[in-house]
Structure 1
Amino acid sequence: MNITGNTILITGGGSGIGRALAEAFHKAGNQVVIAGRRETLLHEVTTANPGMEALLLDIQDKDDVAAFARQAVESFPELNVVIHNAGIMRSETVAAGDFLGTAEETIATNLLGPIRLTAALLPHLQTRPHAAIVTVSSGLAFVPLATTPSYSASKAAIHSWSMALREQLKKTSVEVIEIAPPYVQTELLGPQQAIDPAAMPLAEFIAEVMALLESAPASGEIIVERCKPLRFAAENGQIAAVFVQLNAQHG
C-alpha cells in the first residue's frame, strides 16, 4: 500500500497500537480517522494531532457497525484504507467454568467486528483505485498462549481469514495486508504490560511496521523480527518447543 496520500480509518485508534499507527500515518501525510467506543480517548488523540478526525464505534454491535460504515463513507468519501485494530485480550480460567462470557465478547470484538465492518465497507473500497484492508492479528495466531485461548483463537482466525480474503480480492483494487504484532508495550493486558521490559517498545514496533509497509512484502504479511519465532515456528519444526517456552514465560 502507499504510505502517504490515503484516507485511513483505524478502529481502536484511541490507545496502544491503534493510536501509534494513527499518529505515524498522520505524520506521513494521510487523512486519518480513528474510531472507538471511548469518546474521551478519541478526543485526546485528535487534540494532540490537529487534522485527525474521530468517529464513535461500538465494534461489538452489528447494527452500530453498519450505521458507522455508512457515516464513515458519507463523511469521508475518499476513504480507501481500513485498519482493523480494535481488539480485547483477557485471561480465561477454563476449569473454573466461567469463561464463556469472555470468549463470546472476544470473538465478537476480534473476529466478527472486522468481518462485519469489511462487509459494510467493501463495496465502497472496491470503487477506490488504491484500496487496502489491513488486519491486525498477533504472533499468538501461530503459537497460542494458554491463558488466553479465545484471544489466540480469534487471531488465528483473523490470519486465516486474511489469507482467504487476499486470494479472493487479488484481481480487484483492494489489497489485503496482515500485521502480526509480537508482545508489545501497550496496556492490552493491563498497565504492567506497558512497562514490561520483556515486551517490544511500542515506538520500535511502529517504526519497523511502517518500514515494512513501505517495502510492500509480496506475502502481504507484516512480520517484525521479534515476531518471526512465533510466525515461523511451524515451518521451522519448532512449534512444540516455542509453545512450551512462550507459556513458561507468560504462564
Structure 2
Amino acid sequence: MRLQGKVALVTGGTDGIGARLVRQLRDKGVTVITTGRTADRIAAARADGFEVIEADLSLPEGVDAVLAGLAGREIAILVNNAGAGTDHDFRNGAPDLASTDRTIFLNLHAPIHLVARLMPVLRAQPEAMIVNVTSGLGIAPNGGGAVYCATKAGLRSYTMALRYQLKDTAIHVLEALPPVVDTQMTAGRANRKMAPDECARQIIMAMERNADEASVGMVKLLQLVHSISPALARRIMIRF
C-alpha cells in the first residue's frame, strides 16, 4: 500500500507500540487519528500534534465514542492496536471477572465492532487496509496469560477469516504479531524485549508490502517451530 496521503485510525496510539506507530505513520505522510483513555497521555499526544479521540475501548461506549469522534472522516487504514492483559492465573488466586470482561472486550470485541462499523467507509476507498495487532501468544499460549492469549488467538482467527472474505475487494487485511515488546504492559517481565520503535517499523514495512502477516522479531522463530511441530511450540510457550 502507498501510505502517503491516507487517513488512518490507530487505536491505543498514546502509549507503547501504538505511540511509535502513529509517529512513524505520520512520517510516511499519513494523517493519523488515534485513541486514548489516560488524560496525561492524551494531552501529550495532542501537544505533539495528533488528533486524539478520548475513548475507553474496554467498554461498548468507547466504540461509540470513536465513531462519534470520527464524524464521517474518510478512513482508509484501520489499525486495531489497543490491547491489554489481565491477571487470570488461578495459581495466584481467584481472578477479577470484571477485569476479565473488560480485557475481552478491549482485545477482541472492540476490534470486531470497529471493523464492522467502519466497513462501509473502508469499502468506499479505492485502496484500504485493516491491520489487526495480535501476538505471538495467539499462536501458542503461555500459562500465566490465559485471557490475553485467548483473546489474541480469537482475533487471529477472525483476521484470517476476514482476509478470506475480503480477498476480492480493495481492502487488504494484515495481521501483525509482535513478540514481547518493551512497554508499560510488560514492565514487570524479565524476558528479552524488543524495542517498540523497531516493532512499529516492521509492522509498517509489512503494510507497505501488502503482506498478509507481519511476524515480528522472535515470532518468526515461533512460526517456524509451529509449522514443524505445533505440539512442540505449545510445550515451549506454555512455560514462557
> In the alignment, which of 207, 210, 233 is matched to residue 204 of structure 2?
210
Cα distance in 1 between the residues matched to 2:95 and 2:69: 37
- 8 A contact 1:13–1:22 mirrored in 2: yes
Q: Secondary structure at the match of 1:128?
A: coil
Runs of 5+ consecutive residues of structure 1 not aligned to the other structure: none
Deviations 1:70-119 (A, max 9, x none): 43143xx2321110011111232225333533322221110001111112
Cα distance in 1 between the residues matched to 2:19 and 2:194: 16
Identify the residue that residue 195 of structure 2 maps to in structure 1: 201
Kindly provide the amino acid, as one letter, of the partner of residue 70 in structure 2. A
Identify the residue that residue 235 of structure 1 maps to in structure 2: 227
For the aligned residue pairs, the C-alpha RMSD in angstroms reads 1.9
Identify the residue that residue 37 of structure 1 maps to in structure 2: 37
Q: Under a length normalisation based on structure 2, what TM-score does the superposition of the two structures give? A: 0.91
**Change over 3 Å in CA distance of 1:185–1:64 after alignment to 2:** closer
Question: Could you tell me how far 1:13 is from its partner in structure 2?
Answer: 0.7
Q: Residue 183 in 1 paired to residue 204 in 2? A: no
Identify the residue that residue 226 of structure 1 maps to in structure 2: 218
Q: Residue 111 in 1 paired to residue 108 in 2? A: yes
Q: Secondary structure at the match of 2:218?
A: helix
- 8 A contact 1:8–1:80 mirrored in 2: yes
Cα distance in 1 between the residues matched to 2:222 and 2:40: 35
Cα distance in 1 between the residues matched to 2:53 and 2:163: 27
Q: Residue 246 in 1 paired to residue 237 in 2? A: yes
- Comparing 135-144 with 37-46, which one deviates more in the overlay? 37-46
Cα distance in 1 between the residues matched to 2:20 and 2:119: 25
> In the alignment, which of 62, 66, 85 is matched to residue 81 of structure 2?
85
- 8 A contact 2:178–2:217 mirrored in 1: no
Cα distance in 1 between the residues matched to 2:135 and 2:224: 13
Identify the residue that residue 6 of structure 1 maps to in structure 2: 6
- 8 A contact 2:2–2:208 mirrored in 1: yes
- 8 A contact 1:139–1:230 mirrored in 2: yes
Runs of 4+ in 1 over 6 A off after TM superposition: none
Q: How many residues align?
A: 239
Q: Secondary structure at the match of 1:143?
A: coil
Cα distance in 2 between the residues matched to 1:215 and 1:68: 28
Q: Secondary structure at the match of 2:228?
A: coil
- 8 A contact 1:37–1:58 mirrored in 2: yes
Between the two proteins, what is the percent identity of the paired residues? 29
Please list, as runs of the form range in 1=range in 2, the aligned pairs for 1:129-168 lying within 5 A after superposition.
129-168=126-165
Question: Could you tell me how far 1:231 is from its partner in structure 2?
Answer: 2.8
- 8 A contact 2:59–2:102 mirrored in 1: no
Question: Could you tell me how far 1:247 is from its partner in structure 2?
Answer: 4.2
Q: Under a length normalisation based on structure 1, what TM-score does the superposition of the two structures give? A: 0.87
